Amino acid sequence: GDSIDYPTSEGDNDANDDGDDLSEDDANDEDEEESLDSEEEEEENLAPTIPAPAQYSSVSESDETKPFEEGETAATPPPFGYRIAARISVQPHILMPFCTESEV
């Protein structure tokens, strides 16, 4: 946690205050929050700040089982879903023909 906020002098200071009043700070210091949000986002801040990634995380397990549903979820979190979506999307595609070829 500190490792990510350390690189940014402001982030370290904001992180301390943000942790105390995450809810209030979000609405009070939107500008400042944005700056540290970039780094904290990767942390657990992405859950309370953006409900989209949180849902994707939970669906991640279901995504692997249902690749078609994954596409819809990827639309919500483009940065996170896009990367994972490309991987999962390609996996089923290559697996499908591969299995069929082997069977035939």
What is the number of domains present in the chain? Answer: 2
- Does the pLDDT of residue 4 top 50, yes or no? yes
Query: Are 58 and 38 within one domain?
Result: no
Split at pLDDT 50, 70, 90, the class of 7 is low
- Does the pLDDT of residue 41 top 50, yes or no? no
> Which residues, including other chains, have CB under 8 Å from residue 32's CB and lie 6 or more apart?
10, 14, 25
Residue 100 confidence (pLDDT): 54
Query: Are 38 and 57 within one domain?
Result: no
Residue 54 confidence (pLDDT): 46
Residue 74 confidence (pLDDT): 46
Query: Are 29 and 72 within one domain?
Result: no
CA-based Rg of the chain, rounded to a whole angstrom? 19
Mean pLDDT over 56-70 rounds to 48
Domain of 38, in residue numbers: 2-48
Q: Percentage of the chain surpassing pLDDT 70?
A: 0
Cβ-contact 71, 85 below 8 angstroms: yes
